[in-house]
Amino acid sequence: MDKIVVEGGVKLKGEIEISGAKNAALPILVSSLLADGESVYSNVPRLMDIESIKLLLSSLGARIETDDRTVRIDGSGLHNHEAPYDLVRKMRASILVLGPLMARLKKARVSLPGGCAIGARPINFHLKGLQRFGAAISLKHGYVEASTDGLKGAEIFFDIVTVTGTENMMMAAVLADGITTLRNAAQEPEVVALAEVLQKMGAKIEGAGTPVITVSGVESLNPTSVSIIPDRIETGTYMIAAALTNGEITLKNCRPNHLEAVINKLEETGTRIETKEDQIRVTGPSVIKSADLKTLPYPGFPTDLQAQFMVLMSVADGKSVISETIFENRFIHVSELERMGADITISGHSALIKGVPNLSGAPVMATDLRASASLILAGLVAQGTTEVNRVYHIDRGYEAIEQKFKSLGARINRITV
Ligand code: EPZ
């Protein structure tokens, strides 16, 4: 098991390139199942989650070739309708194969993903959506068993905004017979990116990026070639690192327009932010002002940056309240930050943070992807040495994180134990 060791006290300086977005690449790679022929995806991040989805897609019959950050996938050979537990349990986004399997094979047997550290994370809206398409759904021995004579266009309303739920139903709808309307749909840039790929493949989709998406089913789709959009959560993580360390960094190959809520909130803390079309320059303040935060579906502040922002508030001048409205248990990082000297009180879905002058380095445990990143951030600003254990969580979603921080001057190393 690897661990990452960080020495605090360095002001980050320099520039780094942002990688392709994990949460765009996952549904886009899965969309290859919807067409015969080879699709080509470039700027695919090198991450454990990408390896997991490639393993699952090839187990279903897709042919996959990878050359660095370019992935070629031919969905012609799709024949297996079963996504087994040992693959799905590693990554809940595997549930995204449900829509394409139903669209192409008219049946699917997909393991229920199970919960994870940040919450129960059910898939009831995915299943309710498929039933609206006319699919027969049953749950047996931990698996979803679904079948249909052919998906029919449907009116679907999501009780809660769900990112992969919206993506799954969009992929089920593109080959369905008739028109589908998705209401209270997710508006995340990753949903828009998937819709644009499906349109390039020949799908008829209107309204992606708004709460109402309309899909007119077509007979078939063609393979395509696309570049994966930059990762806004990786970008936000490094922006917060610069704010935290009174640093001055430039992020290249990013999309400032995907980060309006994050830019707005960081400016409230006194951080200076200058943007160009694909670059963001961040200058951290000498004194970090406290600011309250509420996570919301896009275009609100992303839940995937809540833990990172909490680290910033833990050394801010004053008190702040952070409310997590998306997941029911996304404060696991709090106990680890308290071990580093943070002063945080949880009350239900909110946390009250009283800024302290310094954090102190300590051995800490990563529990989920974004909490792990927040512990590295805490180590960058803590006095002394911080050891972040179980960094396999990190490798799921951050490409070359220690190399990128090292190139900004951080004293950080990975140790294989
Ligand atoms: C996506 O997860 C992201 N993952 C998550 O990023 C992100 O935190 C989340 O959206 C919210 O933005 C990918 O895109 C692969 P949801 P997803 O369905 O789609 C509840 C990361 O770190 N819900 O939008 O699984 C759910 O429990 C990951 O990169 C139901 O109740 O999240 C949650 O409370 C973590 N029933 C809320 O909705 C359902 O059927 C939002 O979940 C579906 C969701």
Q: For position 65, what pLDDT does the model report? A: 98
pLDDT at 114 over 80: no
Whether 116 is catalytic is: yes
Ligand 1 contact, 126 CB (< 6 A): yes
pLDDT at 4 over 90: yes
pLDDT digits (tens, 9 = 90+) for 153-175: 999 999 999 999 999 999 999 99
**Structural domains in the chain plus CATH codes:** 2-19+230-416 (3.65.10.10), 22-227 (3.65.10.10)
pLDDT at 83 over 80: yes
Residues in CB range of 403: below 8 A, 6 or more apart: none
pLDDT digits (tens, 9 = 90+) for 180-231: 999 999 999 999 999 999 999 999 999 999 999 999 999 999 999 999 999 9
Binning pLDDT at 50, 70 and 90, where does residue 368 land? confident
Binning pLDDT at 50, 70 and 90, where does residue 116 land? confident
Residue nearest to atom 8 of ligand 1 (CA): 304
User: How far is 132 from 182, CA to CA, in rounded Å?
Assistant: 11
Query: Ligand 1, closest atom to CA 49?
Result: 15
Question: Greater confidence, 165 or 2?
Answer: 165
pLDDT digits (tens, 9 = 90+) for 124-164: 999 999 999 999 999 999 999 999 999 999 999 999 999 99
- Residue 303 has φ and ψ, to the nearest 5°, of -60, -25
Catalytic residue among 116, 179, 296, 352: 116
Select from 22, 91, 163 the residue to mutate for testing ligand 1; criterion: most ligand atoms less than 8 Å from CB: 163
* Sheet strand arrangement including 70-74: 63-67, 70-74, 38-42, 225-227
Section 226-246 average pLDDT? 98
pLDDT at 117 over 80: no
Ligand 1 contact, 123 CB (< 6 A): yes
pLDDT at 367 over 80: yes
Binning pLDDT at 50, 70 and 90, where does residue 290 land? very high
pLDDT at 48 over 80: yes
For CA atoms 211, 216, 219, 221, give the dihedral sign.
negative
Query: Ligand 1, closest atom to CA 120?
Result: 27
pLDDT at 300 over 80: yes
Tell me 303's DSSP state. G
- How far, in Å, are 20, 42, 68, 72, 398 from residue 65 at the CA level? 18, 12, 10, 5, 22
Binning pLDDT at 50, 70 and 90, where does residue 266 land? very high
Helix (H) / strand (E) element for 24: namely: helix 22-30
Query: Ligand 1, closest atom to CA 119?
Result: 27
User: How far is 323 from 309, CA to CA, in rounded Å?
Assistant: 12
pLDDT digits (tens, 9 = 90+) for 13-35: 999 999 999 999 999 999 999 99
Residues in CB range of 122: below 8 A, 6 or more apart: none
What percent of the chain has pLDDT above 70?
Answer: 100
Nearest residue to 319 (alpha-carbon basis) of 352, 366, 347: 352
pLDDT digits (tens, 9 = 90+) for 271-283: 999 999 999 999 9
Average pLDDT, the chain: 96
Tell me 89's DSSP state. T
Query: Coil, helix or strand for 107?
Result: strand
Burial 372-405 (b: 16+ CB within 10 A, else e): bbbbbbbbbbbeeebbbbbbebbbbbbbbbbebb
